[in-house]
Amino acid sequence: MRIELEQRDKMKKKCAITKIFKVRKRRELLCAQAGLLCSLLLGVWSMSELLTQAGYGMIVDGGINFDAHWGRRLMALAQINETVEKNCTEPAIHEFPDDCFTNAERKSGAVLLHILAALYMFLALAIVCDDYFVTSLEKICEKLDLSEDVAGATFMAAGSSAPELFASIIGVFITHGDVGVGTIVGSAVFNILCIIGVCGIFAGQVVLLTWWAVFRDSLYYILSVVALIAFIYDGKIVWWESLVLVVMYTGYILIMKFNSTMQTFFTGKGNKNVANGNAASANELEDVKPSKAYTRGSVVMVDEIINASPPNYRFPEAGLRIMVTNHFGPKTRLRMASRLIITERQKLVQGANGVEVAVVDGKSDIENGNVPEDKPSEEEDGELTSPFTIPKGCMNKTKWLISWPLLLLLFFTIPNCSRPRWEKYFMLSFILSTVWIAVFSYFMVWMVTIIGYTLGIPDVIMGITFLAAGTSVPDCIASLIVARQGLGDMAVSNSIGSNVFDILVGLGLPWALQTMAISYGSVVMINSRGLVYSVVLLLGSVALTILGIHINKWKLDFKLGVYVLVLYAVFLCFSIMIEYNVFTFVNLPMCQEDH
């Protein structure tokens, strides 16, 4: 009996770990993603041109026509430091191999090829992360016997933030510039403001947010941003500062480890959860500990949450467990429990008749105010990831054809440990997928650097805008799909919580490697002084977002969506103007050559 219980607990834990990592494929709505990225790039380029016409642009051939106002300041700087040879900043493009096109040719239209190449690298990163990297992380968590909370805060966070992490590594070790830091900062703002805004506007319903998860992650994230501001204020990072960031993330893991206990302590006072309107006792909440799989680390579908219910429970009991948990709002819990009961009932009927029948719940979706969506089955999803099976449907065939070179390359170079045949090679899959993420990230940063140089946009701005959006738009689309199913609270919690990893590990780890391992005692220079102001704007954005959510009574709706999208537009405008020295002198403009 004891052995049976242990096996049952082990299977239950494995099921929960699997559901943490089973994310919705982020290759949905490819045209919408590409359109959003191109629109953002067009907007940034237009504003850059306006600022250039106003006299705040780049220097051409050493800065002959630079604005006289800033020229006097540069002369004063040159008197202080006579070693300054140029009154412009060397662009990061010189740290990469020579492009096959000249700058004049790119300005004549060849830059469009680089934009397409950058978009293709975004797609490549989504494929390798979804199909190989995340799967290998799932197997590692199973072997290490990690709890759901710790797995979500560590390996799953690494899986969702791998592109930003490698962009930061490339910025530290290859370009020696700020494109990596700009990507982390821009991705953080995009994750918080754009994801919440898009979910609020297009979810089609009002979603009650779980205040504990938002408050927990926001508070720790604010502490992380404050530490980042303090460390980069002097323009350099030393070894102990990078170590502090990494140690802070260790503290975050501990918080996630004891998340259930802390949540019961803070939300169980008075036997009431004010945010969700529960009246469950503390003992009941302790018996139904909320799973980390349902709050952050990945975007999880309603059906996957239902399937993650503990095995060997009859469906009324499983539905009751969902109803009494305090992790989601009452509307979300009712929907989950209802769908669970319907699904289990049909399974019983199918089992009795020996027939497999697809569960159709379109009617319940319509009754709940949701728009039914065509969700691909597991077979169709497998067809989209196989280079040898042509999927059904015109759009699926188009996506498969576009992705085919990548699918073929990854199929022959990385063992797919999700298949039983290759399951024991999960470490090899992890290593090889990491290598491919690094390769794709390198080409992604290279293409974005060339685009920014050609269009006259500084590296930091390209990192904050185009590069950050490119690595985060797939998660935004996935979060929107979840929000339309009534689970917007998960998307909001994930969007804030994942940023903790970006700041503390995405920046702290590369800095620690440079200052403590590769060159002990060295410093990492922050070239752009405007980046400090951008991080301060990031802190203000987080504070205003949480304030807006609180004023809106912890509801995610259309008003909140518009509010945070306006905040995002304001952040981008101020960040661009700061980099172009509109308010005060911050940076030397970037050098540019026409040959």
Residue 80 has phi, psi (to 5 degrees) of -75, -40
What is the rounded distance in angstroms from the CA atom of residue 192 to the CA atom of residue 236? 27
- Closest C-alpha to 499, from 247, 240, 25, 164: 164
From residue 353, give the alpha-carbon distance in Å to each of 215, 347, 348.
49, 10, 9
DSSP structure string for 168-227 = HHHIIIII-SSHHHHHHHHHHHIIIIIHHHHHHHHS-S-EE--HHHHHHHHHHHHHHHHH
Roughly how many angstroms between the first and final C-alpha of the chain, as a whole number? 78
pLDDT tens for the chain, 595 residues long, are: 555 555 555 555 555 445 444 444 556 667 777 888 888 889 888 988 888 888 776 554 544 344 444 443 444 444 444 444 556 777 778 778 888 888 889 989 899 999 999 999 988 988 888 788 878 888 887 887 776 656 666 776 677 777 888 888 888 887 777 767 888 888 888 888 888 888 888 877 787 777 787 888 888 889 999 999 999 888 889 999 999 999 999 998 888 888 778 888 887 643 344 334 343 433 433 444 444 444 434 444 444 444 444 444 444 444 444 444 444 555 555 666 666 666 655 555 555 444 444 444 444 443 344 444 444 444 444 545 678 888 888 888 888 899 999 999 999 999 988 888 888 888 899 889 888 988 998 898 899 889 988 988 888 888 888 888 887 877 777 777 777 766 666 667 667 767 888 889 888 999 999 899 888 888 888 877 778 888 888 889 889 988 998 899 888 889 999 999 999 999 999 988 888 888 887 777 777 666 5
What is the rounded distance in angstroms from the CA atom of residue 101 to the CA atom of residue 78? 34
Cite the beta strand spans of 425-483 per DSSP E: none
Does residue 300 contact residue 293 with C-beta atoms inside 8 Å? yes
What is the rounded distance in angstroms from the CA atom of residue 169 to the CA atom of residue 187? 15
Residue whose tokens read 């579908």: 301
Counted residue by residue, the chain has a size of: 595
What is the rounded distance in angstroms from the CA atom of residue 289 to the CA atom of residue 422? 34
What is the rounded distance in angstroms from the CA atom of residue 241 to the CA atom of residue 451? 33
Amino acid at 539: L
Q: Are strands 555-556 and 524-525 parallel, antiparallel or unpaired?
A: unpaired
Domains in the chain: boundaries: 89-267+274-388+395-586
As given in the structure block, the two tokens for residue 71 are 């020229």
| pLDDT (0 to 100) of residue 162 | 79
Q: Is 22 left (phi over 0), alpha (psi -120 to 50) or beta?
A: beta
What is the rounded distance in angstroms from the CA atom of residue 72 to the CA atom of residue 74? 5
What is the rounded distance in angstroms from the CA atom of residue 128 to the CA atom of residue 385? 10
pTM above 0.75, yes or no: no
As given in the structure block, the two tokens for residue 153 are 């805060």
- State which H helix or E strand residue 499 sits in: helix 488-501
Q: Show Cβ contacts of residue 261 under 8 Å, excluding neighbours closer than 6 positions.
A: none
- Closest C-alpha to 530, from 573, 487, 564, 581: 581
Does residue 171 contact residue 289 with C-beta atoms inside 8 Å? no
As given in the structure block, the two tokens for residue 36 are 């959003």
**SS3 assignment for 377-424:** CHHHHHHHHCCCCCCCCHHHHHHHHHHHHHHHHHHHHCCCCCCHHHHH
| Partners of 148 in beta bridges | none
Neighbours of 156 (CB within 10 A): 28
Does residue 489 contact residue 210 with C-beta atoms inside 8 Å? yes
Between helix 179-189 and helix 155-170 the angle, nearest 10°, is 140
- Closest C-alpha to 450, from 62, 103, 122: 103
- State which H helix or E strand residue 556 sits in: strand 555-556
Neighbours of 94 (CB within 10 A): 12
| Partners of 591 in beta bridges | 59
Residue whose tokens read 């974005």: 448
| pLDDT (0 to 100) of residue 120 | 93
Fold designation for 89-267+274-388+395-586: A middle domain of Talin 1 (1.20.1420)
| pLDDT (0 to 100) of residue 65 | 42
What is the rounded distance in angstroms from the CA atom of residue 489 to the CA atom of residue 548? 15
DSSP state of 524: E
Residue whose tokens read 């077979």: 379
As given in the structure block, the two tokens for residue 430 are 């992890």
Between helix 468-483 and helix 195-202 the angle, nearest 10°, is 30
